[in-house]
Amino acid sequence: MKKMILVMGLAAASAFPLSAQTNGGHNFEISKNLEIFNDIYKQLDLFYVDSLSADTVIEWGIEAMLRQVDPFTEYYPEEGLDELREMTTGKYAGVGAVIRYFKKEDHVMVVEPLEDSPALEAGVKAGDLILAIDGESMKGKNTQEVSDHLRGDAGSAFELTVKRAGSEHPLTFKITRRNIAMPAVPYYGMVADSVGYIYFNRFVDGCSRDVRRAVVDLKDRGAKALVMDLRGNPGGLLQEAVEVANLFLPRGKKVVYTKGKLASVNTEYYTEKEPLDLNIPLAVLVDGGTASSAEIISGAWQDLDRAVIVGRRTYGKGLVQMLRELPYHGSLKVTTSRYYIPSGRCIQAYDYRHLNPDGSAGTVPDSLTRVFKTAGGREVRDGGGIKPDVVIVPDSLPTVVYDVAASDVMLEYVNKFASEHSGIASPEAFALSDEDYSDFVRMVSESDFSYKRRTEDVMKLLESAARFEGCYEEAKAEFEALAQKMTGDVGADLERPKNKKEIKAILENDIVSRYYFRSGAIRQQLKDDKDLKSALEILADKQRYEQLLKPTEK
């Protein structure tokens, strides 16, 4: 026994210098490379033919360094802290307007002044071209540059000069900036006789109170079931996610826990309040844009068998960031840990430490993911976001739909429609007539709009392969005939039934937002929402709802 203790003691003692040596080697590598980096900049500053901006060059170096970790670790210099505050609070000081670059005029255009915003109160309208701000021309400036000019300290005033269709001369407005709060819950309401719906789009400071108020109000209106829409929700503050999850979970339930390199970042988060409702049926809508904190609550409700998840697999962000102060009032948002939801799974989908040859981050194959169990015994998996209990396959969209939706000609048509119609039907009832749509098709056909079909690329690839194989000449006539059929024209493509349906829906939504703002656009979209329709069917069928929350029988 004494001999064993002596051997173990010697082994333990030998580990200490090895550990110190390892740490020493690591520290030496850090010191050596920092010294090299420092000397390279000094040499450039001294000998390079032109003068260098220290702020620019060093910031580029920092950005290159951060690209080696993950896209969520970011450096914010002092002048970038407003962006950081907006991310965490949902607030900024400005005029409250959605803007977009309009290529045809080489100016930025106001797409939508927000409800109750300084821009709207001053008289700014959607479709106004921003010509100048405080006398400075905005011609040729991109959206970010114009946005920087529109923002400023709350209480500060400036003059905005715009060009408006139908007005002979430019219009000038004096606008006073104020704090603009982007709502975490831009819309909620009843979507069936006894089903409430909440569109929840960001986790910012205080958002759990907004969700709580929405739930209470919907229940007062007679809601016996709820749909929580988290599609496109990028997440945000983790503590707010715990608070929202707590609305439908009993006190004392573990919602999420974090693990990192340092013990100080290992934290467990439990529900601490009495819930609003433990029994109300709950369906959650998710998609590929559902990330981070939005995945935490949808994953926690799934793991604890509290809600049926409907839609498409979520993004898969299982990394947690914290803020670290830097010299000269800067901040570093750095990934410090991974989070794990109640079943014990981490849903991180991307491996940023081992990149593919093209620089993209790889994902974990489904075959290598691990099985976990929900509280009730249902099988769930890690490694790739939250897989819904009911998967809805999205409709595929042809290239022309994407391209025309992003084009200036669609924006022009919406401006034209709004200038010719003082009002429209309610968001739920509004629809473009066939005559209106034909007018749009004519406008597109007469414009310089063009797009490239995917079939053209495939045809070229097929032709190249046929030439390589030596059989092209034999099939040349067939190739030319097929190419002719694949070409078509813009007008004919826009009139194809599937394309017409999708483009009309986008036009209707853009038009509705002009008259009823963001909340109206959300209401309009819900008319033909496949995910919502599926959720309502599940909530209307008590037996199916309960069955989805039970383990599948082998």
The residue annotated as part of the active site, out of 210, 229, 287, 303, is 303
Structural contact between residues 35 and 297, judged by C-beta atoms closer than 8 angstroms: no
- Residue 220 burial (CB count, 10 A): 9
Domains and CATH numbers, the chain: 91-181 (2.30.42.10), 187-254+261-318+338-394 (3.90.226.10), 399-535 (no CATH)
Q: What integer is the mean pLDDT of 10-30?
A: 59
pLDDT of 117-152, one tens digit each?
999 999 999 999 999 999 999 999 999 999 999 999
Q: What is the pTM of this model?
A: 0.87
Q: What integer is the mean pLDDT of 92-116?
A: 93
Per-residue pLDDT at 420 exceeds 50: yes
Rg (CA), the chain: 28
Residue with tokens 């750095």: 334
Q: What pLDDT does residue 357 have? A: 80
Structural contact between residues 287 and 312, judged by C-beta atoms closer than 8 angstroms: yes
The residue annotated as part of the active site, out of 292, 343, 407, 519, is 292
3-state secondary structure of 90: coil
433 is catalytic: no
The proportion of the chain whose per-residue pLDDT surpasses 70, expressed as a percent, equals: 95
The residue annotated as part of the active site, out of 141, 317, 333, 504, is 317
Per-residue pLDDT at 488 exceeds 90: no
489 is catalytic: no
533 is catalytic: no
Q: How far apart are CA 124 and CA 171, in angstroms?
A: 9
> What burial class does residue 428 get, using C-beta atoms within 10 Å of its C-beta: 0-12 exposed, 13-18 middle, 19+ buried?
exposed
pLDDT of 345-402, one tens digit each?
999 999 888 878 877 888 877 778 899 999 999 999 998 899 999 999 988 888 889 8
Nearest to residue 308, comparing CAs of 554, 553, 543? Answer: 543
Q: What integer is the mean pLDDT of 187-216?
A: 96
Instruction: Using CA atoms of 472, 475, 476, 478 in order, give the dihedral in degrees to the nearest 10.
Output: -140
